[in-house]
């Protein structure tokens, strides 16, 4: 079996950018003989099928949280891309995977973290604390044999634009406007980033012969420009050809529904309402992007471009 670059979450927000970029990056390198093993929960899904046709990519149906040290050894995994879920079990499951990877001899892991300003031990929202704890664990001497890089991306543009896309489509369809709900502030600048481009950055890291310069690094990733809530409203108005009548800024009310439907502690789920405070305070602007990211691959896609794409889907 050839050595393997494992992509966990290959059909997810960032994973698709990895598997669509990595084959061409390693084509004429020392990794050209490596197979790219893309994990998915369902090989029959449209997203998985679009990956299955990519040259040099092998698709496998496998729940990553059940991957053992022996599984990693058998598949000769040398490098890993890991985009974990952000549920309350994240730390336990991701840390178990990373311990297994360490003991199986994995050389390098590129993982997806979250908004840099949130990765601290006292944040009120629960899931960024899990990312903080994972990074602290990886930084201990016991993990020195395995290189790692954490990408700390800002809010994903498509996730942020979900409500705007639905607002535009519904208004076009019915001619009537519901309130437009936005999770960012009306006037605070925010460097929203396209999740696919975060995956492209991860692919560039995975293709590096020497990972030493990026070992134990935490890289901040934002989009190419700052945007405010009012600017997004203007984009929506351009698409519907009318003024938006009612806007709700900094609207996190959807978390209430998440908590009501979750099997986890409501206290934990409701804490997500605090996850955007740093963004509302202007701590996630485009200028905070790490210089190393700009040297690897500078994000290019604007909010307007992503909105155009989402409206066509």
Task: Say which residues have a Cβ less than 8 Å from residue 265's Cβ, sequence separation at least 6.
Answer: 88
* Architecture category of domain 4-155+194-221 in CATH: 3-Layer(aba) Sandwich (3.40)
Q: Enter the tokens of residue 261.
A: 């439907």
Q: Which residues, listed in sequence order, are joined to residue 77 by a DSSP beta bridge?
A: 4
Task: Say which residues have a Cβ less than 8 Å from residue 170's Cβ, sequence separation at least 6.
Answer: 176, 178
Report d(CA 7, CA 81) in Å as an integer: 5
Q: Whole-model pTM?
A: 0.96
At residue 34, the pLDDT reads 92
State the fold for domain 157-191+223-283+300-312.
Answer: UDP-galactose 4-epimerase; domain 1 (3.90.25)
Report d(CA 306, CA 284) in Å as an integer: 19
| Residue in this structure with the two tokens 């003024």, named with its chain if needed | 243
At residue 26, the pLDDT reads 94
At residue 46, the pLDDT reads 87
Report d(CA 232, CA 184) in Å as an integer: 10
Report d(CA 211, CA 108) in Å as an integer: 8
Residue from 138, 129, 54 nearest 97 by CA: 138
Write out the residue limits of the CATH 3.40.50.720 domain(s) in the chain.
4-155+194-221
Q: Measured at the alpha carbon of residue 182, what is the angle toward residues 246 and 14, in degrees to the nearest 5? A: 155
Q: In degrees rounded to 5, what are phi and psi of residue 82?
A: -130, 115
Write out the residue limits of the CATH 3.90.25 domain(s) in the chain.
157-191+223-283+300-312
**Residue 183 gets which letter from DSSP?**
S
Looking from the CA of 3 toward its CB, the CA atoms found within 13 Å total 13
pLDDT by position in tens, the chain (length 313): 789 999 999 999 999 999 999 999 998 888 888 999 999 988 888 888 888 888 889 999 999 999 999 999 999 999 999 999 999 999 999 999 999 999 999 999 999 999 999 999 999 999 999 999 999 999 999 999 999 999 999 999 999 999 999 999 999 999 999 999 999 999 999 999 999 999 999 999 999 999 999 999 999 999 999 999 999 999 999 999 999 999 999 999 999 999 999 999 999 999 999 999 999 999 999 999 999 999 999 999 999 999 999 999 8
At residue 53, the pLDDT reads 86
């Amino acid at each position: 079996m050839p050595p393997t670059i494992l992509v966990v979450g290959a059909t997810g927000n960032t994973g698709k950018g990895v598997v669509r970029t990595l084959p061409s990056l390693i084509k004429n390198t020392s990794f050209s003989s490596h197979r790219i093993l893309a994990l998915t929960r369902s090989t029959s899904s449209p997203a998985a099928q679009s990956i299955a046709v990519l040259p040099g990519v092998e698709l496998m149906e496998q729940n990553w949280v059940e991957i053992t040290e022996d599984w990693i050894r058998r598949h000769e995994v040398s490098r890993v891309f890991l985009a974990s879920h952000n549920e309350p079990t994240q730390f336990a499951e991701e840390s178990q995977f990373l311990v297994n990877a360490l003991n199986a001899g994995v050389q390098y892991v590129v993982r997806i973290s979250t908004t840099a300003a949130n990765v601290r031990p006292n944040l009120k929202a629960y899931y960024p604390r899990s990312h903080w704890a994972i990074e602290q664990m990886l930084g201990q001497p016991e993990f020195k044999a395995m290189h790692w890089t954490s990408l700390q991306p800002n809010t994903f543009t498509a996730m942020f634009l979900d409500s705007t896309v639905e607002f535009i489509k519904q208004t076009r369809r019915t001619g009537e406007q519901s309130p437009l709900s936005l999770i960012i502030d009306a006037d605070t600048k925010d460097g929203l980033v396209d999740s696919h481009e975060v995956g492209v950055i991860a692919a560039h890291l995975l293709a590096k012969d020497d990972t030493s310069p990026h070992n134990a690094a935490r890289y901040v990733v934002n989009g190419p420009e700052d945007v405010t809530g009012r600017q997004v409203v203007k984009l929506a108005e351009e698409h519907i050809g009318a003024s938006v009548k009612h806007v709700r800024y900094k609207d996190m009310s959807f978390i209430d529904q998440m908590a009501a439907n979750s099997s986890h502690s409501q206290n934990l789920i409701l804490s997500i309402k605090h996850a955007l405070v740093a963004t509302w305070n202007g701590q996630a602007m485009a200028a905070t992007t790490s210089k190393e990211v700009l040297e690897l691959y500078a994000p290019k896609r604007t909010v307007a471009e992503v909105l155009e794409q989402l409206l066509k889907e």
